[in-house]
Amino acid sequence: MIKQIYQRLFDHYGPQHWWPAQERFEILVGAILTQNTNWQNVERALHSLSLASCTTPEQIVSCPDQDLAAHIRSSGYFNVKARRLKAFCSWLLEQGGLAVLDTRDTGDLRAELLSVHGIGPETADDMLLYAFERPVFVIDAYTRRIFSRVGLVEEKINYEDLQCFFEDSLDADVGMFNEYHALIVRHGKEVCRTSPRCDTCVLKDLCAFRAGVEGPDRP
DNA sequence: ACCCAGGGTCATA
DNA sequence: TATGACCATGGG
């Protein structure tokens, strides 16, 4: 069923070409900036960082807090995210850079990322999948919403359990994990929002909701 | 005027 | 361990 849903989303939306960034470090920065934030606002912040020549770990750690916060202003939570960016960049530098981290075991790397201030499970997994190209399935609010709505998992399922649900059901394929998560976000943005609009949904027949009619076991 | 967005931390009970 | 407050901009 999980593979069939992937096929349907892919057939309907096509390839999403994620992560929308050019350099690996930009992916890592974007993963922090996009926390609970629209990607369009993140792009402005990334552009602003670029204009300010604040595009390397060294430049970010040496940038005054006030200035860094100003550069990423458009991405929201700018004081919080400025501190998180600095924490991540100083960690990255003390680890010896990306090339060193590339040699690390995926499980160890994930645990170390989670130990950095401001990096939680989703941000860590974004980094692991899209920047380190490890076969880790990214979970987000859309994933939980879509897959509980089609009745495959409980609505309150926790992050790790939902992640295992995907990773146990699918081949560990980085390219497919990349596309699947991107498709879930795309689908979530277009159709499956907080209030169901299943009339135009590709997963219409699977969803507990129907257009204008509630499912029998749903409030 | 509302609600939401590609979360995470910290303080409380 | 489990909720709730908090962070904050920009678009619909």
pLDDT, residue A195, reads: 66
Is the Cβ–Cβ distance between A27 and A21 less than 8 Å? yes
pLDDT, residue A190, reads: 83
* CA–CA gap between residue A82 and residue A54 (Å, rounded): 12
Cα A188 off chain centre by: 13
* CA–CA gap between residue A114 and residue A193 (Å, rounded): 29
Residue at the smallest CA–C1' distance to nucleotide C6: A77
Residue at the smallest CA–C1' distance to nucleotide B3: A194
Distance A7 CA to C5 C1' (A): 41
Distance A139 CA to C4 C1' (A): 23
Residue A181: phi and psi, rounded to 5, are -60, -40
Q: Is the CB of A50 under 7 A from strand C?
A: no
Crossing angle for the helix pair A78-95 and A24-33, to the nearest 10 degrees: 140
Mean pLDDT, each 10-residue run in order, chain A (219 residues): 96 96 96 98 98 98 98 98 98 98 98 98 98 98 93 94 98 98 94 69 77 41
